[in-house]
Structure 1
């Protein structure tokens, strides 16, 4: 934590004052820090547009690495790449794209640029910021059309690994319910009918290991709705560890989980692909590295 005592002759916007002191704090990073309650002016959370004046105290709950000027982004991890597509592995804690200085898409673009390929990549689907794992990107229009069509048709099978606070009963099941989205609050609800425009959600799970209060699950995302896995597992009383929106915050604090223990672990292409340009992907299966929290449930060190 850094405590700054403002020194200025005239009032100035807080965001400008902070960006002048720390050039690495661009608008995206500042807004994210404010959302996470990591910026306090005179002990209170205030809008970045607030004008600070001489003698005010700003507290920044940020690390030195976050405040220092970055020299390039961390390298993107490519699980697979050919002339048409990229499968990249996203770490938990960065957005897939957006205004932040560091996003998966920016890492991918920088890696392509550094390789001198002059190519651009387009996201074909998304993951929540707190979720890690595999993301499909297209390098051209043909690949974008192919991948988005496969995803829409549910031809590409997606499996996730997660750790839940609570053991599901039965140990394996296919859940079928409906999901209602509250866009204003940024939250979804699982319901048993279509009232209010709720849409069908189908989520399969299998218990792989248990340790104390926790369970490691392999989850199949059949439909792909907003927050589907997180909300569906919470609905059956087994929220994902680290999930601050749908989970058990007391357990999250106790076990010191900053992000949800959820990883998009596996992408499986269909056995038959009729388009000759992408036929080489038929039957291919790609994996992200198994997350540390899954390994610790398996060996009993996390419970």
Structure 2
């Protein structure tokens, strides 16, 4: 028999979702059968698979002990560096400035060095995260940016913060601003571009169109030119929609590909400037909540900025 006492980081999720994380060896078929046979109980009573757990609930599983790991575990995240460029941190969230070339999560190259692994290692060293003390929660990223893009990524340290941020991001209550170096000069120094984007999953790229397309989605990209050199523009961008590769594909479509962008840009221009990563940084984040009656309400109205964006500082001399 195995007993779990539900903690705040476990609460508010469905019983089946909790058990899939807390008992990863248990097949889904066994989970459903055990519920039917009353081998899984909550607070000593028969339960439903869809039951939403509450803080303090006692979940008992009358199942084979082989399902429950007791051997000490090695944590993969400890092989990643614990160093982070932290923009802001408190007891609920962490804003990290991701460097270009670092994946936010593990991808096809299976590298152990990812942003989330670095964050977990950092929190582990601080004593703020210990997998042995958690039953179903792991600190998680609330947004992601491309591997070769730099800038702010949000990590939630507890389940309530993660739920709130996921909801607020979905409702577009976080404003994200980017800096980039685009090829050429814009005819309009500030405008909002409106087109349609279609994603090609097989080729891991997107295409932009003037008119609506099958499976296409509207993209809105607001920009303002901050500086111009002889050949290029330093541009601030606000994403009004958040689609895959939106800024990169949108600017390339209107004739201003980003310097360093090997997918949508010009290889000849990239070689000229010696850039292997697109000059794009998610440099500013503003919390614009519609209400403040929640755990993260104290963040409302606050703006956090990456202090030194190297290509912006070096724009006049280098680009």
| TM range, smaller chain | 0.7 to 0.9
Aligned to 2:194: 176
- Kept in 2: contact 1:163–1:214 (CA 8 A): yes
> C-alpha separation between the residues in 2 aligned to 1:188 and 1:155?
25
1:301 aligns with 2:286: no
1:200 aligns with 2:218: yes
Structure 1 unmatched runs, 5+: 1-69
Normalising by structure 1, we get a TM-score of: 0.74
Dislocated runs of 4+, deviation >2 Å: 271-276
1:261 aligns with 2:279: yes
1:86 aligns with 2:102: no
Displacement of 1:289 in angstroms is 2.8
Normalising by structure 2, we get a TM-score of: 0.70
CA RMSD, aligned part only?
A: 1.6
The alpha-carbon distance between structure 1 residues 72 and 227, as it changes in their structure 2 partners (threshold 3 A), is: closer
Displacement of 1:254 in angstroms is 0.9
> C-alpha separation between the residues in 2 aligned to 1:274 and 1:114?
32
Aligned to 2:243: 225
Mean Cα deviation higher: 139-148 or 158-167? 139-148
1:108 aligns with 2:119: yes
> C-alpha separation between the residues in 1 aligned to 2:112 and 2:240?
33
- Kept in 2: contact 1:172–1:205 (CA 8 A): yes
Displacement of 1:72 in angstroms is 5.2
Structure 2 unmatched runs, 5+: 1-77, 131-137
Aligned residues: 232
- Aligned ranges 1:226-241 → 2 under 5 Å: 226-241=244-259
- Kept in 2: contact 1:168–1:236 (CA 8 A): no
Match of 1:152 among 167, 170, 177: 170
1:141 aligns with 2:164: no
Displacement of 1:250 in angstroms is 0.2
SS at match of 1:277: coil
Aligned to 1:37: none
> C-alpha separation between the residues in 1 aligned to 2:129 and 2:263?
40
> C-alpha separation between the residues in 2 aligned to 1:270 and 1:72?
33
Q: Deviations over 1:254-286 (max 9, x none)?
A: 110010000000000116533231111010000
> C-alpha separation between the residues in 2 aligned to 1:287 and 1:130?
19
> C-alpha separation between the residues in 2 aligned to 1:124 and 1:271?
16
User: Radius of gyration: which is bigger?
Assistant: 2
